[in-house]
């Protein structure tokens, strides 16, 4: 299924209008909405990273949030407990998340899909438990708050533009991976791993590399979560957050490139604005998910892509006639 380029003529125009709006947003919107946009950007990076292994790789990455937390805690600990330059933390966060992904992936890729997910939940929960209880280092269940950041990230507007740039770079990098021979091979493994192994593809190596790449980008999202919130806490590594990330991918469309971005925007908006009027906003989300599963199982972007594909095929058929 084609993703971001399913309508080549209109997509560049839409992207240009959207980018122009996002660049001008701080000049016309209140600070609260700029904060919400920043949260959406960070969450979009996280959802996109998960979709690389789940939607395109077919791996049951059930505890992806733990790598998000590792990236956030690495930066927070370097900024609060060492005298190292801040840039070291911004590099170390994604790298530590990728190393953790590589280490956990070494064990998980040896198992079948369901057991892969169960083992990852177990190992991720172990990391969460250590973070939750290690008060001397991580602050335990209180977390770490009041983190001081470099001057370039001191204000809401400055941090917004930095995160927007980071999101753009991540999207370009992930799209190139998606379109690369590695990305195509990864989707082939998702669809039929046995046949790929039969033609000489090292399935486990490709899956492990996908996990490392995905966890690296999850670490990037974790680092910039600290930029937005100025704090970290163990809930970043709890399985509930990982479930929310998977829901974002499902909402937007598992098998599309840009679907998780839409899913992240929907989830963050629901949590923010519906939560103002009712504490049962998850009930609204549940109803949406039920309707989605019955009527749009391929997600919003997947549904749009299918409709456009059918339209193109119909137009081609009419031309042939």
User: Do 215 and 95 contact (CB within 8 A), yes or no?
Assistant: no
Res 26: pLDDT: 92
What is the mean predicted confidence (pLDDT) over 229-233?
A: 93
pLDDT in tens, 129-153: 999 999 999 999 899 998 998 888 8
- In this structure, which topology does domain 11-320 adopt according to CATH? ABC transporter involved in vitamin B12 uptake, BtuC (1.10.3470)
Helix, coil or strand: residue 64: coil
Res 301: pLDDT: 80
What is the mean predicted confidence (pLDDT) over 39-55?
A: 95
Question: Sorting pLDDT into bands at 50, 70 and 90, what band is 179?
Answer: very high
Which position has the higher pLDDT, 70 or 272? 70
What is the mean predicted confidence (pLDDT) over 48-71?
A: 92
Residue 8 above 60 pLDDT?
Answer: no
Question: Sorting pLDDT into bands at 50, 70 and 90, what band is 320?
Answer: low
**Whole-angstrom Cα distance, residue 105 to residue 112?**
12
Backbone angles phi, psi at 155, to 5 degrees: -110, 165
Domain residue limits, the chain: 11-320
What is the mean predicted confidence (pLDDT) over 168-196?
A: 93
Close Cβ partners of 131 (under 8 Å, ≥ 6 residues apart)? 69, 73, 138, 234, 237
Res 114: pLDDT: 80
Give residue 57's Cα distance to chain centre.
14
Across 165-179, 257-271, 291-305, which has the greatest mean pLDDT?
A: 165-179
User: Do 281 and 297 contact (CB within 8 A), yes or no?
Assistant: no
Question: Sorting pLDDT into bands at 50, 70 and 90, what band is 5?
Answer: very low
pTM: 0.90
Res 321: pLDDT: 64
Share of the chain above pLDDT 70, in %: 96
What is the mean predicted confidence (pLDDT) over 188-213?
A: 92
**Whole-angstrom Cα distance, residue 310 to residue 257?**
19
pLDDT in tens, 240-288: 889 889 889 988 888 888 889 999 998 898 888 877 777 777 787 778 7
Q: How big is the CA angle at 128 (ends 85 and 225), to the nearest 5 degrees?
A: 45
Res 153: pLDDT: 86
């Amino acid at each position: 299924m084609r993703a971001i380029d399913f309508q080549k003529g209109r997509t560049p125009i839409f992207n240009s209008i959207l980018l122009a709006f996002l660049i001008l947003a701080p000049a016309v919107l209140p600070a609260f909405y700029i904060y919400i946009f920043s949260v959406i950007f960070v969450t979009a990076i996280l959802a996109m990273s998960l979709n690389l292994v789940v939607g395109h790789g077919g791996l049951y990455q059930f505890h992806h949030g733990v790598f998000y937390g590792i990236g956030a805690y690495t930066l927070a600990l370097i900024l609060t407990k060492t005298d190292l330059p801040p840039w070291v933390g911004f590099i170390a966060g994604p790298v530590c998340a990728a190393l953790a992904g590589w280490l956990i992936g070494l064990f998980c890729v040896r198992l079948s899909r369901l057991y892969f997910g169960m083992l990852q939940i177990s190992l991720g929960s172990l990391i969460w438990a250590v973070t939750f209880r290690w008060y001397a280092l991580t602050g335990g269940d209180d977390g770490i708050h009041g983190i001081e950041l470099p001057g370039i990230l001191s204000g809401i507007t400055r941090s917004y533009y930095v995160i927007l740039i980071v999101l753009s770079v991540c999207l370009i990098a992930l799209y190139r991976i998606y379109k690369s021979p590695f990305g195509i091979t990864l989707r082939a493994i998702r669809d039929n791993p046995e046949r790929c192994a039969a033609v000489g593809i090292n399935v486990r190596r490709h899956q492990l590399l996908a996990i490392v790449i995905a966890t690296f980008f999850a670490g990037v999202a974790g680092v910039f979560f600290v930029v937005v919130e100025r704090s970290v806490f163990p809930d970043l590594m709890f399985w509930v957050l990982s479930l929310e990330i998977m829901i974002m991918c499902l909402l937007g469309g598992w098998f599309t490139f840009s679907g998780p971005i839409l899913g992240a925007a929907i989830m963050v908006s629901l949590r923010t604005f519906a939560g103002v009027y009712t504490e049962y906003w998850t009930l609204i989300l549940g109803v949406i998910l039920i309707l989605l599963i019955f009527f749009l199982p391929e997600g919003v972007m997947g549904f749009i892509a299918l409709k456009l594909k059918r339209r193109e095929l119909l137009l081609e058929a009419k031309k042939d006639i």
